[in-house]
Chain A
Amino acid sequence: AQSVSQHNHHVILSEAASLELGCNYSYGGTVNLFWYVQYPGQHLQLLLKYFSGDPLVKGIKGFEAEFIKSKFSFNLRKPSVQWSDTAEYFCAVQGGSYIPTFGRGTSLIVHP
């Protein structure tokens, strides 16, 4: 069975600070990896995804994530956060069944 672990449950930053959210997964085979974001009052939407190829993937709004196979990790980064990045962030893994499994989420609050 696949599982996802997000290490940071609550993160509070000031604008312009750098962000890194941890995500580790457990699965024995090839995986697809995703980060989704849920802005206040809005539906969950895709931030970025990794299927194969370059392990450094870029998403919307300046976010990027790096897949490190040896560490089973897919950490999300942004060099300089904005107040509008306040949201809940979910890491998800998709294994052989193609059913997405989500982590517990990280609540990010950015102070202006």
Chain B
Amino acid sequence: DGGITQSPKYLFRKEGQNVTLSCEQNLNHDAMYWYRQDPGQGLRLIYYSQIVNDFQKGDIAEGYSVSREKKESFPLTVTSAQKNPTAFYLCASSSSGNHAEAFFGQGTRLTVV
């Protein structure tokens, strides 16, 4: 069954700790994205990668880091430098080029206490 898997679904961390959110896709998509969803603010782009071993900052990259060592995987690390990390995080992927719709995972809700 093709799709995008995000894990875990819920994550709790203490303030000051780094945490890594997993995102795996088996759709053979070149492009992968991380968005943050907050109530009333829609989806804001954190990082994106259009090809393996390359990634770019999005609109709100501060306090986050990513890697893209494999085509299928695009993990996101929320560092202690992120001032307001509690949020719903969505991973997406798409084929490269024009006319490509994005496919989304189920999301990870991160709560920092």
Task: Indicate, yes or no, whether A interacts with B.
Answer: yes
* Total count of chain B residues near the partner, CB < 8 A: 26
Contact-size category for A = 20 to 34
Q: Which residues of chain A have C-beta atoms less than 8 A from B96's C-beta?
A: 98
A75 within 8 A of B: no
Q: Which of B21-29, B70-78, B103-111 contacts A (4 or more CB under 8 A)?
A: B103-111
Q: Which residues of chain B have C-beta atoms less than 8 A from A51's C-beta?
A: 98-99
Report if A43-B106 is in contact (Cβ < 8 Å); known contacts: A34-B101, A51-B99, A98-B97: yes
A32 within 8 A of B: yes
Query: Measured between alpha carbons, how far is A98 from B98 in the docked complex, in Å?
Result: 6
Query: Measured between alpha carbons, how far is A74 from B33 in the docked complex, in Å?
Result: 24
Give B contacts to A, CB under 8 Å: 31, 33, 35, 40-45, 48, 50, 58, 90, 92, 94, 96-102, 104-107
